[in-house]
Amino acid sequence: MWTEIGATTAISMVAWLGITYPPYAEARGWRLGQWVGGSGWYTYHCIAILSVLFAAWKYGGFLGLAVVLVGGWIGAFVLIHLLRSHSQMFALLSLPAALMWHWNIR
């Protein structure tokens, strides 16, 4: 159970990275890509987050959901500080990773 929750949290970090990066980058004065911060960007990452939350619920119930939400959110800010402006490129991996993980649990 905890291995699956850990993997789900790692994917959640990348999905939350896509949601949290645009406002943080604007506040820091970093350059944003053309697609970053638009409605398509947020829809893309919201689909990934929903897939990850479903996996967390399936693996760990309320406890798994809480761990993935909090761990993913905190991990996203750690990734932003580590990757800086490369975060927008790394965040694009969220939906493929989330969907592959979602299909894995079926």
Domain-wise residue ranges, the chain: 2-26+35-104
Angle at 76 between CA 53 and CA 64, to 5 degrees: 30
Specify the pLDDT at position 27.
93
- Model-level pTM greater than 0.85? yes
Q: Residues 49-98: pLDDT tens digits?
A: 999 999 899 888 999 999 999 999 999 999 999 999 899 999 999 999 99
Contact residues for 37 (Cβ-Cβ < 8 A; gap 6+): 22, 23, 26
- Kindly state the helix (H) or strand (E) to which residue 17 belongs, with its residue range: helix 2-28
Q: Residues 12-62: pLDDT tens digits?
A: 999 999 999 999 999 999 888 888 989 999 999 999 999 999 989 988 899
